[in-house]
Amino acid sequence: MKTIACVVQPGFAPFEFGLACEAFGLDRSDDGIPNFDFRVVTPRPGAVPSNLRFSINVDDDLSFADEADLVVITPIPRDQWAHVDERVSAVVRRAVERGAWVLTVCSGSFVVAAAGVLDGRRATTHWRYADTMAEMYPRIDVDPNVLYVQDGRIITSAGTAAGLDACLHLLRLELGAEMTNTIARRMVVPPQRDGGQAQFIAKPLPESTSLSLTPVTEWMLENLTLDLSVDQLAARAHMSPRTFARRFKADYGTTPAAWLGRQRIIHAQRLLEQTDLGLDAIASACGFGSAAVLRQNFARTLGLTPTAYRARFTCTTPPAQLEAMAS
């Protein structure tokens, strides 16, 4: 992925537009991150008004989008959802036909839906608009409970900041975990958020919020090789297993087992990228027990085998660092 077109239209949302600029447009070559040819495009070049009563000047029309490896669609106002600019819809269709990536932020998914390329696919949007999308486009499998969805080479994301999760997901696929972690550190955001939109929908607070679970999750990260049970973790948190499981789900949006499994995959990605350890050694270091279990979980989570991941993202690490990274 080298060229990226970010499509803005009248009434665009500045924050969501800024997410795309932050993720793909900045020069991070001093951190060893390759630069993208990132351009902002619009159907009619010139002043493009935002939804906050200021405008940006866009010089490029949509022609660059027909060459881009990634087309990012930013949100449009609700009154435009049923009347999407056909020029933009055509760009989206052509991008999908030639195998380019298409990524939407928040209600930008309505633009892609209008192009017809989401029919028969799974997608998401902001939880407040999920029912509307399902009614307008009944052939789309709308999932209101996730931060983003990848279906083929189309990525749709939920509201606002979830767009950044989607961008980091794509960067992880294209650049690997280590470079994406570097980008996330520069942004001061987690490289991968667990859970889904359900965390942000209004609901009663848990009965107790006085005790942070951070010490427990830090201990989990330091002990990925152990077979950790809810009972053990609850004891470390000085809670009953039932209370701990409820609190963990409320705070992290997922179960302790699912969260631990994700952290093991992240550690496996790092070892695959930066060491020449065999799969059995990596499986042992990450708590998967065997290479077969590692392969199964890795492929289910990332859609490719550990061997294929290593071939794509491997880098050289001095031998002296291998033992320390595996420990």
Instruction: Report the CATH number at residue 306.
Output: 1.10.10.60
| 76 and 16 share one domain | yes
Number of domains in the chain: 2
- What per-residue confidence (pLDDT) applies to 130? 93
- What per-residue confidence (pLDDT) applies to 280? 94
| 172 and 279 share one domain | no
Which CATH number does the domain housing residue 141 bear? 3.40.50.880
Q: pTM for this structure?
A: 0.72
| 179 and 248 share one domain | no
Q: Is residue 196 part of a domain?
A: no
Residue of 298 and 102 predicted with greater confidence:
102
Q: For residue 48, is pLDDT > 70?
A: yes
Q: For residue 76, is pLDDT > 70?
A: yes
Q: Containing domain of residue 158, as a range?
A: 3-187
Residues 303-312 have a mean pLDDT of: 86
pLDDT tens for each residue of 86-127? 999 999 999 999 999 999 999 999 999 999 999 999 999 998
SS (H, E, C) the chain: CCEEEEECCCCECHHHHHHHHHHHHCCCHHHCCCCCEEEEECCCCEEEEECCCCEEEECECHHHHHCCCEEEECCCCHHHCCCCCHHHHHHHHHHHHCCCEEEECHHHHHHHHHCCCCCCCEECCCCCCHHHHHHHCCCCEECCCCCEEEECCEEEECCCCHHHHHHHHHHHHHHCHHHHHHHHHHHCCCCCCCCCHHHHCCCCCCCCCCCCCHHHHHHHHHCCCCCCCHHHHHHHCCCCHHHHHHHHHHHHCCCHHHHHHHHHHHHHHHHHHHCCCCHHHHHHHHCCCCHHHHHHHHHHHHCCCHHHHHHHHCCCCCHHHHHHHHC
Of all residues in the chain, what percent carry a pLDDT higher than 70?
A: 90
| 159 and 283 share one domain | no
Q: For residue 187, is pLDDT > 90?
A: no
| 14 and 159 share one domain | yes
Q: For residue 206, is pLDDT > 50?
A: no
